[in-house]
Chains A and B, each alone.
Chain A
Amino acid sequence: MLLFRSEDDLGNWCQQRGATRGATLTVTQTWVLAQRWYYNRLDPAFHGRSIAEAEAVFASVGLEGAFWQSAAR
């Protein structure tokens, strides 16, 4: 996941690599996602999360649709 200064920079980066554009988030959206994803990462009781739990975190910040879902559904 990369941080671009502008939409133009992102578009050029994709074009130069022949890459299909993925999903784009704002910095604030990514911060909220980071908080919900990593808030308990240093807790010794954290042993990972299931695919369903991961998808629930994405959905909680409005990230829904095929891009944010596992193929194993």
Chain B
Amino acid sequence: MSTTDSVPERLWEARAVIYSHFAATGQAPTPAETAAILQAPVADVVDLYNELHARHAILLEANSSTIRMANPFSGIPTGFQVMIGTTQYWANCIWDALGIPAALYRDADIIVADPAGGTPLRLQVRDGQVRGAGFVHFLLPFSRWYDDLVET
């Protein structure tokens, strides 16, 4: 980075780019894609990704600059698929599956893998209301969420 003082501003600019990219495409931006938008060197953007990871603003794959999570979005396919219009999103959990239409203020069709191995469960969001049934289980208490973000 050119100066220490410029880091926080660039950090949040990078975060905004990541979220805008997820919202527009359903996919995580690579450091190169973010660097092109920020007009910054890729190496600097990798540093920003690492700093956002350290601040729990995103979650990177282990020893990688690939974004695994920018909640509610998932950078990899999961058992929580969210369709908004023609855009496919992946969420990290059922809370995040509902979080995507909440964050985007859009109607959504949500398809969830059944943990019991049955047919997928389906929810809909229409005009700010949710349709569908089921039991949402939070395994770990809030105090342990950052112990393992994937299994929470």
Chain A residues within 8 Å of B, Cβ to Cβ = 1-7, 9-10, 12-13, 19, 21-31, 33-35, 37-39, 41-42, 44, 47-48, 54-55, 58, 66-72
CA A2 to CA B113, docked complex, whole Å = 9
B residues 40-58 near A (Cβ < 8 Å) are 55-57
Chain B residues within 8 Å of A, Cβ to Cβ = 12-13, 15-16, 19-20, 23, 55-57, 71-72, 93-96, 98-100, 102-104, 112, 114-116, 118, 121, 123, 125, 129-130, 132-143, 152
CA A20 to CA B133, docked complex, whole Å = 23
By the criterion CB–CB under 8 Å, are A58 and B142 in contact? yes
Interface of B is mostly: mixed
By the criterion CB–CB under 8 Å, are B134 and A71 in contact? no
By the criterion CB–CB under 8 Å, are B116 and A3 in contact? no
CB distance from B121 to the nearest CB of A (A): 5
By the criterion CB–CB under 8 Å, are B102 and A4 in contact? no
Q: Which of A10, A30, A55, A70: most chain B Cβ within 10 A?
A: A30
Decide yes or no: A39 and B57 within 8 Å by CB, A5-B121, A13-B115 being known contacts. Answer: no
By the criterion CB–CB under 8 Å, are B102 and A35 in contact? yes
CA A71 to CA B115, docked complex, whole Å = 29
